Amino acid sequence: MACTILLGPARAVVAAELSVTVRDNAGRPFAGAVVVAEPLTRAPPAAAPLKAEMDQRNLQFVPNLLVIRTGTSVSFPNSDQVWHQVYSFSGAKTFQLSLYAGRAHRPVVFDKPGLVTLGCNIHDGMIGYIYVTDSPWHGLTDQNGQFRFAHLPAGNYTVKVWHQRFNDPVVSLGLDVTATEGTPVTAAFQLKRNLKPALHSHGTEKKWEDY
pLDDT band at 12 (very low <50, low <70, confident <90, very high): low
Of 52, 54, 26, 23, the C-alpha closest to 141 is: 23
63 has a pLDDT exceeding 80: yes
Of 142, 114, 141, the C-alpha closest to 129 is: 114
Mean pLDDT of the chain: 90
Question: What is the model's pLDDT at position 199?
Answer: 75
Largest CA distance in the chain: 70
Task: Collapse the DSSP code of 107 into the 3-class scheme (helix H, G, I; strand E, B; otherwise coil) and give the result.
Answer: coil
pLDDT band at 1 (very low <50, low <70, confident <90, very high): very low
Please give the domain boundaries of the chain with CATH numbers for all domains.
47-139 (2.60.40.420)
Task: Collapse the DSSP code of 209 into the 3-class scheme (helix H, G, I; strand E, B; otherwise coil) and give the result.
Answer: helix
Q: What percent of the chain has pLDDT over 70?
A: 88
Q: Does pTM top 0.85 for this prediction?
A: yes
- The length of the chain in residues reads 211
Question: With b meaning 16 or more CB within 10 Å and e meaning fewer, what string describes 17-31?
Answer: bbebbbbbeeeeebe
- pLDDT tens profile 165-198: 999 999 999 999 999 998 999 999 999 999 999 8
